Amino acid sequence: MESRYTPDVIEEKWQQVWTEQGIDQTPNDSSKPKFYALSMFPYPSGNLHMGHVRNYTITDVLARVRRMQGYRVLHPMGWDAFGLPAENAAIDRGIHPAKWTYQNIAQMRSELKRLGLSYDWSREVATCSPDYYRWTQWIFLQFFQAGLAYQKESAVNWDPIDQTVLANEQVDNEGRSWRSGAKVEKRLLRQWFLKITDYAEQLLNDLDRLPGWPDRVKVMQANWIGKSIGAYLEFPIVGLDEPLGVFTTRPDTVYGVTYVVLAPEHPLTKKVTTDDRQAAVTAFIQEVSGQSELERTAEDKPKRGIPTGGKAINPFTGEEIPIWIADYVLCEYGTGAVMGVPAHDTRDFIFAQQNHLPIQTVIIPAGADAAVPLTEAYVEAGALVNSGEFDGMASAEAKGAIVQKAEKMGWGKSRVQYRLRDWLISRQRYWGVPIPIIHCPDCGAVPVPDADLPVQLPEDVGLSGRGPSPLAQMESWVNVPCPTCGTLARRETDTMDTFIDSSWYFLRFTDATNEQQVFDPTQANTWMPVDQYVGGIEHAILHLLYSRFFTKVLRDRGLLNFDEPFQRLLTQGMVQGLTYMNPNKEGKEKWIPSDLVNPADPKDPQTGEPLKVGFATMSKSKHNGVAPEEVIKKYGADTARMFILFKAPPEKDLEWDEADVEGQFRFLNRVWRLVTEFVGVASGIRQKKTDSLTKEEKDLRRAIHTAIAAITEDLDDEYQFNTAISELMKLSNALNDAPCKNSAIYAEGIDSLVLLLAPFAPHIAEELWQQHLGHPDSVHTQPWLTADAAAMVADEIALVIQINGKTRGTIQVPSGGDKATLEQYARESELAQRYLEGKEIKKAIVVPNKLVNFVIA
């Protein structure tokens, strides 16, 4: 028998055996509790990177543990396979997007298999397959029928590099595309939207029902939805029938309004501008619209605006106030107009000072004098002054009272405003799901009948990356009769945002091969929600918000009986690589590939300049990536898995360190040696009687069961794989140091070590379990170990004696004593008496099995 640890040999061997035996298939046995473990499925970009390895290893450990714990586990994998890189590859290299995508899938699938991930491959899905996108189209039509998919002309984000529009969620805070990094432009286009705003309130409220989600993700979603409670108020315009509507969260300050401001793009701007102001206003609007989004929202940019000459009336005071336009008012939010309350809003205060507009105090803190001029806006709560009948009222109370009056007088009403906008889903690109709509000159937008789904992507398409949607250029595909009236009509030529594909894939996995339905609701309701979802924080808003939205809509369509798709969410940290940077260089040039650098003396190979050494997220541009393939080749998949789980807690960033990888390889070798050396003397040991244990045996057994308890706890609640592995190391050390290697307890320890190791390093555990320890069945089908509480109790404990909280020493006492007994031991101890002599004990604090603390004067 081979006595050396050879990961390459045993790993591929067992991967094959497991596949043949189908041990990773999803069981149907409904007598077991279910567990759905899911990693965010990848975009098939070409090769696996370390981030994938980390993500999938985490779910795999959980899937394996839960199987051993008696759950029926669903652990599937698939491909988020539509998207622009495939189309760009086609443009650059002339490969059809489908071919490029499927080649990448084949490559990445084989890399995943080499990692020993226990997926049920019979449920694999690819979103670009007609078997899948047929149902994506079907779901779109469900939205359409529910009135949740509509077309609208609006100013949308246009990505000039990718030549398509983008949703708000896909543009970052600097106004750049999440994918191409290009600054987006605003274009006025007729586009498809999904009405996510209808679900804003539910999406916000139900965050409270997700205790298993990280707070920061919930905070980010809540901020994105951006609920504000306030009032809609109307200010009559002098000389116009139309009123000017504003949204405010501070109706209590309405008596302090000294002007109103419109966004430059506001439709009323032209109407309110007086003749003498016309030229100046037009010039100002031109200037503002010439600025990019970035310039307009730049930090500490002065707020600029000019008067229109128009006047409005504050209905509460009856006063005439000027109407201004200013660039700090956003057309897209609220009504695109605000009431200016300089005394109680920071922005308004600055604006009023700059433009010499009056500042009227209407809220004062207790004891303050309203007559004293403000040096900055007072934005806190207080009591109302200069506010007519509301004088003296607390501002919180006044909010309601003033809205009530507005309602009574017909000046406005209470209103809830969200920052969330509807989801723009049209994309002017080829490699995506065709929107299953036919535009008929007579009937309008007509859904493609279910029987005609899928609307297949035509294969022979010219891709240039420029001009209108590629599908629009295919006359033979575009021109079809209207399904309703038969008139010659045109297909919709935009494709869907790929985030739609990924908003429901977790449902398809529950019934992945169903040709009759999107999924059998019974299957979906049985398996869902996902018990543990694992993925990157970058989807905190995007994918995770969209998926929640889809789940709620499909529930309302009667397909699902639950509200939230992901019970628990773990956002794993990034994998960072050692990075060399030349601070004297600019752009991509400054990142120096590590294979060109001597780690002992990092210098730029070209210029000889010293380099800055640090860690940064692995990426091609920084040349700091480590290929999973290389690591597996050198150390094996088990070592790679162990390292990545051990090096840092799962939600924290992880620094790749070759020395630590070797440490894990060493550990697996130690386990190997421990087990194979034991096998040499194993015969007969298991059968030895264990009636009365020696002290050494008791100590060892305590170590074994302490490890079982600790590892189980680490895997059950918080996912602390790093400390779980450290417990494995402790157990391994305890076995190595055990003086009683010829005992049945030692045999129990060896078996336990291998069983506990199995979810983390599945191949070596299987090899040791079956080949060396001679067990007949797979280690992965064994029941998980249960800690024996009795074994964990020591006969004696070292009781800590403290005086006034300071430790003075320990005494050996029998374990299990109650508080009074322990205090008695302590009082009687020589140690305590030495310190307590002649002192009065004011209090004695006893922590069972731990310590006794005497408080003396």
Partner RNA sequence: GCUGCUGUAGCCCAACGGUCAGAGGUGCUGGUCUUAGAAGCCAGAGGUUGUGGGUUCGACUCCCACCAGCAGUACCA
Q: Measured at the alpha carbon of residue 641, what is the angle toward residues 511 and 535, in degrees to the nearest 5?
A: 50
Residue 729 within binding range of RNA, rule CB under 7 A: yes
- Binding residue (CB under 7 A) for RNA from 32, 96, 186, 303: 303
Query: Which is closer to RNA, CB of 201 or CB of 452?
Result: 201
Edge to edge, the sheet with strand 806-814 lists: 806-814, 796-803, 851-856, 841-847
Residue 839 within binding range of RNA, rule CB under 7 A: no
Residue 130 within binding range of RNA, rule CB under 7 A: no
Residues 182-211 that bind RNA (CB under 7 A): none
- Binding residue (CB under 7 A) for RNA from 662, 677, 713, 788: 662
- Binding residue (CB under 7 A) for RNA from 40, 654, 754, 822: 654
Residue 737 within binding range of RNA, rule CB under 7 A: yes
Residue 289 within binding range of RNA, rule CB under 7 A: no
Q: Which two tokens stand for residue 317?
A: 């005071």
Residues 259-288 that bind RNA (CB under 7 A): 263
Please enumerate in sequence order all residues whose Cβ is within 8 A of that of 733, keeping only pairs 6 or more positions apart, or say none: none
- Binding residue (CB under 7 A) for RNA from 419, 555, 568, 775: 419
Residue 647 within binding range of RNA, rule CB under 7 A: yes
* Residue given tokens 């006034």 in the structure block: 804
Contact between 795 and 698 under an 8 Å Cβ cutoff? The reply is: yes
At closest approach, how far in Å is the CB of 173 from RNA? 3
Q: Which stretch binds RNA (CB under 7 A): 60-68, 185-193, 468-476, 847-855?
A: 847-855
Q: Is the peptide bond before 650 cis (omega within 30 degrees of 0)?
A: no
Listed in order, strand segments (DSSP E) in 375-523 are 383-384, 412-417, 423-424, 426-427, 437-440, 444-447, 479-481, 488-491, 495-496
Query: Which is closer to RNA, CB of 113 or CB of 266?
Result: 266
DSSP string covering 725-765, please?
HHHHHHHHHHHHH-S-TTSHHHHHHHHHHHHHHTTTSHHHH
Residues 498-537 that bind RNA (CB under 7 A): 537
DSSP string covering 290-320, please?
HS-HHHHT-TTPPP-EEEEEEEEE-TTT--E
Residues 432-471 that bind RNA (CB under 7 A): none
Query: Which is closer to RNA, CB of 42 or CB of 264?
Result: 264
SS3 assignment, position 243: strand
Residue 233 within binding range of RNA, rule CB under 7 A: no
Query: Which is closer to RNA, CB of 241 or CB of 299?
Result: 299
DSSP state for residue 768 in the 8-state scheme: I
Strand-pair partners of 854: 803, 844
Query: Which is closer to RNA, CB of 45 or CB of 723?
Result: 723
Residues 800-819 that bind RNA (CB under 7 A): 800, 802, 804-807, 809-810
Residues 532-571 that bind RNA (CB under 7 A): 537, 541
Q: Which stretch binds RNA (CB under 7 A): 128-136, 226-234, 376-384, 678-686?
A: 226-234
Residue 726 within binding range of RNA, rule CB under 7 A: yes
Q: Is the peptide bond before 214 cis (omega within 30 degrees of 0)?
A: no
Residue 690 within binding range of RNA, rule CB under 7 A: no
Residue type, 338: V
Q: In which element (H, E) is residue 88 found? A: helix 84-93
Q: Which stretch binds RNA (CB under 7 A): 294-302, 443-451, 515-523, 759-767?
A: 294-302
Which of 328, 331, 265 lies closest to 296, judged by CA?
A: 328
Residue 835 within binding range of RNA, rule CB under 7 A: no
Q: Which stretch binds RNA (CB under 7 A): 379-387, 458-466, 624-632, 844-852?
A: 844-852
DSSP string covering 605-630, please?
TTT--B-EEEEEE--TTTT----HHH
Residue 297 within binding range of RNA, rule CB under 7 A: yes
Distance, in Å, from the CA atom of 732 to the CA atom of 403, rounded to the nearest integer, reads 70
Fill in the per-residue mask, 157 to 186: x = in contact with RNA (CB under 7 A), - = not in contact. Answer: ---------------xx-------------
Fill in the per-residue mask, 331 to 350: x = in contact with RNA (CB under 7 A), - = not in contact. Answer: x-xxxx-xx-----x-x---
- Binding residue (CB under 7 A) for RNA from 185, 655, 696, 788: 655
Residue 247 within binding range of RNA, rule CB under 7 A: yes
Residue 215 within binding range of RNA, rule CB under 7 A: yes
Residue 330 within binding range of RNA, rule CB under 7 A: yes
Query: Which is closer to RNA, CB of 82 or CB of 259?
Result: 259
Please enumerate in sequence order all residues whose Cβ is within 8 A of that of 569, keeping only pairs 6 or more positions apart, or say none: 210, 212, 213, 214, 217, 533, 534, 535, 544
Query: Which is closer to RNA, CB of 118 or CB of 355?
Result: 355
Total number of residues that touch RNA (CB under 7 A): 83
Residue 749 within binding range of RNA, rule CB under 7 A: no
Pinpoint the alpha helices (H) of 452-504.
475-478, 498-501
Residue 328 within binding range of RNA, rule CB under 7 A: yes
Query: Which is closer to RNA, CB of 297 or CB of 484?
Result: 297
Q: Measured at the alpha carbon of residue 88, what is the angle toward residues 86 and 93, in degrees to the nearest 5?
A: 95
In Å, how far are 360, 381, 390, 395, 457 from 252, measured between CA atoms? 13, 10, 9, 6, 57
